[in-house]
Amino acid sequence: MSCSSDGNTDDPINELEEIISEDSAGDLDLPTNYFNYANPELPGHFRNQEVSGIDNTPGNNPVTDAGATLGRVLFYDKSMSANNTTSCASCHIQGNGFSDPQRLSEGFEGGLTGRNSMGLSNARYYENGRFFWDERASTLEEQVLLPIQDGVEMGMTLEELVAKLQGKDYYASLFENTFGTEEVTSDRISRALAQFVRSMVSYESKYDVALAAAGGDERRPFNGFSNAENQGKNLFFSNRTECSNCHETATFSGDRARNNGLDATNIDLGLGGITGRNQDAGEFKVGSLRNIALTAPYMHDGRFSSLREVVEFYNNGIQNNPNLDNRLERDGRPIRMNLNTTEIDALVAFLNTLTDENFISDLKFSDPFKD
């Protein structure tokens, strides 16, 4: 096996049974062969320059089958918390698009997080590569370590974490096959977790099937859509709603933090609380809409319990905030879409077509620990 001094292996073993014996695996249930994390069969609308241009995967940490497998184990391992009760997956649940159905998530000692848990579908597709609602993490590699060290969420120091994982036999094999040696470091933990999260690409929804059948042109009527779904699609991509100006490309991702007029004054400073700049106050990361129907409640504070409430807010509830994004105001006032009930229903119906049942049931993203 050849590898760099601390890089991913160039020629990873494909037989997991060769690197993890039944005895050392303990409660782990991993497949005989690696799942395909590195090279999924993406549709054409995910392989164009627009989408590749917003991929935040760094050159020194590409997704590999071995690395994402290690990341999967780390993601679901409750021993990553101080009292062995909480894992990354505790607040990012596969069936909920890797979000939390609770408004605020419960930490390792029962405390609540300050913000709603953001879904992880297509997290790799975000133009500026920053993470958390307030974008305080400059990379995904930085982000994945912060909840572990948070006093509410998981309550560990990185030194404690490294020592803890070194005591688990199965990690030695997983780290060796990913990085070339058994050494456990916080940098390697970070890189493996980031690989697993970036492998969570959702591309098999009803929308994807219909878009492919339409030759990749979202403006054409979709034969597989109902009348309401097609009406909602047309509204989503229209100048009337401006939805697609904030949620761009086939990934339905944003490009940077925006102020969407949730409040007239910035109760939560968002990005402004990190930068200290008044013009950034009330700005929050614009996440992907992939699997959005599964990730309620919505917004950074979980204030909306349904997609209909979200659409109704954008229809006539945007507040006239001094930092309101310019795509949500006209002539110095918040836009009003003036959608009727049928049109609101249609937009919700379209958003439901972004649900990917294969993604939320895919074993390669599931809990590898036995019950």
At residue 317, the pLDDT reads 96
User: Is residue 324 located within the same domain as residue 226?
Assistant: yes
Q: Is residue 72 part of a domain?
A: yes
User: Are 197 and 365 in contact, with CB atoms under 8 Å apart?
Assistant: no
Whole-number Cα distances in Å, 324 to 7, 283, 311: 43, 9, 17
Does the structure show a pLDDT above 60 at 282? yes
Domain final residue, candidates 171, 202, 233: 202
User: Is residue 253 located within the same domain as residue 224?
Assistant: yes
User: Are 354 and 249 in contact, with CB atoms under 8 Å apart?
Assistant: no
User: Is residue 332 located within the same domain as residue 217?
Assistant: yes
The one-character DSSP state at 5 is S
User: Is residue 234 located within the same domain as residue 175?
Assistant: no
**Domain harbouring 65, CATH code:** 1.10.760.10
Tell me the whole-structure pTM to 2 decimals: 0.93
User: Are 231 and 288 in contact, with CB atoms under 8 Å apart?
Assistant: no
The residue written with tokens 């990553």 in the block is 80
Structure tokens at 249: 């490309």
At residue 27, the pLDDT reads 79
pLDDT digits (tens, 9 = 90+) for 231-276: 999 999 999 998 999 999 999 999 999 999 999 999 999 999 999 9
User: Is residue 158 located within the same domain as residue 105?
Assistant: yes
Structure tokens at 143: 């982000």
Task: Pick the more confident residue, 266 or 9.
Answer: 266
Q: Is residue 5 part of a domain?
A: no
At residue 149, the pLDDT reads 98
At residue 1, the pLDDT reads 32
Strand partners, 281: none
Range with lowest mean pLDDT among 19-23, 228-232, 317-321: 19-23
User: Is residue 73 located within the same domain as residue 187?
Assistant: yes
Domain final residue, candidates 143, 167, 202: 202
Angle at 346 between CA 336 and CA 93, to 5 degrees: 100
The one-character DSSP state at 119 is P
Q: Which domain holds residue 249?
A: 206-357
The one-character DSSP state at 333 is E
> How far is it, in rounded angstroms, from Cα 234 to Cα 221?
9
At residue 10, the pLDDT reads 43
State the pLDDT confidence band at 370, using cuts at 50, 70 and 90.
confident
pLDDT digits (tens, 9 = 90+) for 139-154: 999 999 999 999 999 9
At residue 232, the pLDDT reads 98
User: Is residue 143 located within the same domain as residue 236?
Assistant: no
Cβ-Cβ contacts under 8 Å for 220 (sequence gap 6 or more): 214
State which amino acid sits at residue 264.
A
Whole-number Cα distances in Å, 233 to 44, 241, 245, 312, 320: 20, 11, 14, 17, 27
Q: Is residue 296 part of a domain?
A: yes
Strand partners, 92: none
At residue 21, the pLDDT reads 44
Does the structure show a pLDDT above 90 at 80? yes
User: Is residue 102 located within the same domain as residue 171?
Assistant: yes
Domain final residue, candidates 150, 173, 202: 202
User: Is residue 60 located within the same domain as residue 166?
Assistant: yes
Q: Is residue 118 part of a domain?
A: yes
Does the structure show a pLDDT above 70 at 8? no
User: Is residue 198 located within the same domain as residue 215?
Assistant: no
Helical segments of 77-226, H only: 88-91, 140-143, 146-149, 158-166, 169-179, 186-198, 206-213
pLDDT digits (tens, 9 = 90+) for 91-102: 999 999 999 999
pLDDT digits (tens, 9 = 90+) for 12-36: 445 554 445 444 445 799 998 999 9
Cβ-Cβ contacts under 8 Å for 326 (sequence gap 6 or more): none
Number of domains forming the structure of the chain? 2
At residue 326, the pLDDT reads 93
> How far is it, in rounded angstroms, from Cα 364 to Cα 221?
34
The one-character DSSP state at 93 is B
Q: Is residue 136 part of a domain?
A: yes
CA dihedral sign, ordered 328, 330, 334, 335 = negative
User: Is residue 214 located within the same domain as residue 197?
Assistant: no
- The whole-chain average pLDDT of the chain stands at 93
Q: Is residue 6 part of a domain?
A: no
User: Is residue 271 located within the same domain as residue 302?
Assistant: yes
At residue 15, the pLDDT reads 52
